Amino acid sequence: MTKKIEAIIREEKLNDVKDALQAIGIVGMNVTECRGHGRQGGIELVGRSGAYKVDMLPRVQINIVLSDHNLEQAIDTICHAAQTGSVGDGLIFVYPVEDVVRIRTGERGRAALMYPGDIDTRPLG
């Protein structure tokens, strides 16, 4: 079965997360800029005279569609790489995916999700 991971992380952690995922062989991903709001209350910014609060903070959303047997490993890896320990580290959501089509080749389903260096092409270990 195929799943979608939507990880909402700090902007500045994107490179770390990308590298960590690549290290375990998760190659395909898609990143959007977003602004979010959760347990973290917002941050204070300084103006000309006095400060003000901004309650929507920039975040980065990483979308990864992957096979469910790689799901837990991906979640662990993201959690690890994206953590700072202070509020605002973000969330990971998991969704069901019904189908995958690779536009260039027309491949469908799991086959469409294989990459050079992919986690599923690596020897077990």
Q: Is residue 88 within 8 Å of residue 40, measured between CB atoms?
A: yes
Single out the residue of 11, 23, 37, 111 in contact with its own copies (rule: CB under 8 A).
37
57 conformational bin, left if phi > 0, alpha if psi -120 to 50, beta if neither: beta
For 74, 100, 116, the CA distances from 1, given in Å and listed in that order, are: 15, 11, 21
Q: Would you count residue 103 as binding other proteins (CB under 8 A)?
A: no
Single out the residue of 46, 99, 124, 125 in contact with its own copies (rule: CB under 8 A).
99
Grouping H, G, I as helix, E, B as strand and the rest as coil, residue 96 is strand
CA angle 114, 80, 82 (to 5 degrees): 90
Tell me which of other proteins, ligand ADP, its own copies, none is bound by residue 53, counting a contact when its beta carbon lies within the kind-specific cut-off of 5 to 8 angstroms: other proteins
- Shorter beta-carbon distance to other proteins: residue 35 or 69: 35
Q: Would you count residue 32 as binding other proteins (CB under 8 A)?
A: no
Q: Would you count residue 63 as binding ligand ADP (CB under 6 A)?
A: yes
For 28, 48, 57, 89, the CA distances from 67, given in Å and listed in that order, are: 12, 51, 31, 25
Residues found near other proteins in the complex (CB under 8 A): 10-13, 15, 43-55, 84
Judged by the rule CB under 6 A, the positions of this chain that interact with ligand ADP are 8, 28-30, 36-40, 57, 59, 63-66, 87-91, 102-104, 113
